[in-house]
Amino acid sequence: MVRSHKVDIGGLLAGGHQRMLITDEVPIEAFEGITFPDPAQVRLELSYADRMLVATGSVDVHAVGACDSCLEPVERDVHVDVNERLDPWVGRENDPFGESNVFTGTRLDVADLAQQLVLSVLPMGVRCSDDCQGLCGTCGANRNAGACSCINGDTRGKFKMEDTAQ
């Protein structure tokens, strides 16, 4: 059975000084070689002010991927502090690529919001450490494990100009 992660915020939009607390576990889809083996822990407080839905709280999830330099497994905990102001009157049907595309009518898609927030804080590339040596450009050996045994050594980034004049 698929669990719904859509929350009706119609009561908040009706006015007043209500607050809605959301605690949920939502799956995060894999992205660019990074997977999320466990559901994200979402803790949000929602309120309505100045015609905007205010969402504060946090999203925590465990990420797994491969180092972009040496291809070794990398695991990181990802934490996102949430402080968003979303326009609930412009939803997915009006602007599918807009900032408020997490709304369908008066329903907030918590899973979609968590997915977007987590992906927005991921680095462009994952590294196992700041001093990762990567792979040898000649033989492909992991240089973090020690020097490679190929004859040419690492020629990555080094160009030899051959004399082609005859």
pTM listed for this prediction = 0.77
pLDDT class for 92, splitting at 50, 70, 90?
low
What is the secondary structure of 42-97 as a DSSP string? EEEEEEEETTEEEEEEEEEEEEEEE-TTT--EEEEEEEEEEEEEE-TTS-TTT-TT
pLDDT in tens, 36-54: 999 999 999 999 888 888 9
Task: State the Cα–Cα distance between residues 83 and 54, nearest whole angstrom.
Answer: 7
pLDDT digits over 96-123, tens only? 555 657 887 788 899 999 999 999 998 8
- Sign, CA dihedral 9-15-85-23, equals negative
Structure tokens at 88: 């609930």
